[in-house]
Structure 1
Amino acid sequence: MKNLIAAALAATVLAAPALSFAQAEQQPVTRAQVRAELVQLEKAGYRPNLASPYYPDDLQAAEARVAQQNGAAQASAYGASTNGSVQSGTRAPNIKPTYFGQ
């Protein structure tokens, strides 16, 4: 009986992520919404027709400016929310090649 309960519990735990969604309502984005976002990005300084080797950086900078403008418009008494960043890691090991010094 314990094996049956354990198997049912394991199946439930494994099936839960497949049945849960990040957003309750996922509505498709309309063409009008995409065009409005593109116009907003262009007003923030992004040029989609410019062949730039820094494409991702340019787009992210424009999106940050748009988010800042939208955040200023929706500011509350508690202040704007900030995105934190964390960096972690270890030093690269000091490994010398096999034929070091020969």
Structure 2
Amino acid sequence: MKSIIRAALVATALVIPVASFAQSQITRAQVRAEMAELASVGYHVGDGDQAHYPEAIQAAEAKLAARNGQTAYGSDANGTSQAGGPRVSQADWNSMYSR
């Protein structure tokens, strides 16, 4: 009985990493295309500037987004929004809540 439980635990331990690994995979071509896009706006990998790494790639991604007409998150917001209902006039407010 112990060997069956042990075998099940070992099998589970081997299957879980494989399942988590297969969730998101991108191809080399996709990575190369993304690096080419970043290079087109001035970001170059391996230029020796490690002191400004996060800012440099974020700036390059922002330039790409601006060039492609995208916002930072989601799509462009061209709609309108109305929060709350219409305002109650002072006369109506007084007629409801004053004695």
Category of TM-score, reference length = shorter chain: 0.3 to 0.5
Please report the TM-score for the alignment, with normalisation by the length of structure 2: 0.44
Please report the TM-score for the alignment, with normalisation by the length of structure 1: 0.43
Higher helix share: 2
